[in-house]
Homo-oligomer: A and B are copies of this chain.
Amino acid sequence: MTDPFREAQPEKPAPKAVISRVSLYLRQLENLQRFGHKTISSSQLGSLLGINDAQVRKDLAHFGPFGHPGIGYQIEELIPILRGILGIDRVWKTALIGLGNLGRALLRYRGFRGRGFQVIALFDTDPKKIGQTHAGLTVHSLQELPTVAAELGIQLAILTVPAEVAQAVADLAITSGIQGILNFAPAPLNLPETTALVSVDLSTQLEQLAYKVLTAHAGQIPPHE
């Protein structure tokens, strides 16, 4: 019933919360390795990230028995396993759609390239932007998305377009064969089950912060200043 040649992957997709912690574990392990550490226990790793030790063990055990009782986890051994689980052990061909301020900033963001996300095509609808060059790439008209995506084999899209057009652009991306969208537009997107979607909603985040400040200092801030 078990296939020894299969990759370390769960039977069912692990809960979303588990996966976001796996990202944190990986980054922490990479930092530890940089400082010469060889092994780490679940309680050490957890306390660095503010996570319960049982949770660390349970999260990792989801994917296989990677730990060594009495010793902990081998950092060098665990890193490539986690990279494989997350799917960042390969190159992801990515398009950036929308070259406003945020789009241009993300294009230069180093955190992406180092994780295997390679932006290889740019798209916009603004005639003034089409034809411009950013980070060595020429901006295409959005109309060209289907042909360019097919030609280059684009898999992911980073969406930094206005909320009003986000759904239409996402629809076009999907008919162009794109498998996953990282959405920065503050709009709820309706996509088919087969397409992966992660949304990053910056204004919502700031609202969370305002609420937290208000409740942390409950009563100390006048209601309207």
Task: State how many angstroms separate the Cβ of A170 from the closest Cβ of chain B.
Answer: 13
| Closest residue of B by beta carbon distance from A223 | B7
Q: Is the CB of B204 within 8 A of A24?
A: yes
A112 to B102 CA separation, bound complex (whole angstroms)? 13
**1/0 contact string of A26-45 vs chain B (CB within 8 Å):** 11100000000000000000
Tell me how many residues of A have a C-beta within 8 Å of chain B. 73
**1/0 contact string of A51-95 vs chain B (CB within 8 Å):** 000000000000000000000000000000000111111111000
CB-defined contacts of A224 to chain B, threshold 8 Å: 89-90
Q: Is A137 an interface residue (CB 8 A)?
A: no
Q: Is A152 an interface residue (CB 8 A)?
A: no
Q: Is A225 an interface residue (CB 8 A)?
A: yes
| Closest residue of B by beta carbon distance from A212 | B196
Q: Is A49 an interface residue (CB 8 A)?
A: yes
A114 to B202 CA separation, bound complex (whole angstroms)? 12
Q: Which residues of A contact B (CB under 8 A)?
A: 7, 9, 13, 16, 19-20, 23-24, 26-28, 48-50, 84-92, 101-102, 104-106, 108-109, 111-112, 114-117, 155-156, 179-182, 186, 188, 190, 193-198, 200-218, 223-225
User: Could you list 13 further interchain pairs (A-B, Cβ under 8 angstroms) beyond the known A50-B190, A101-B105?
Assistant: A16-B208, A19-B211, A26-B207, A27-B204, A50-B188, A86-B207, A90-B223, A106-B202, A112-B206, A117-B210, A179-B213, A180-B213, A194-B217
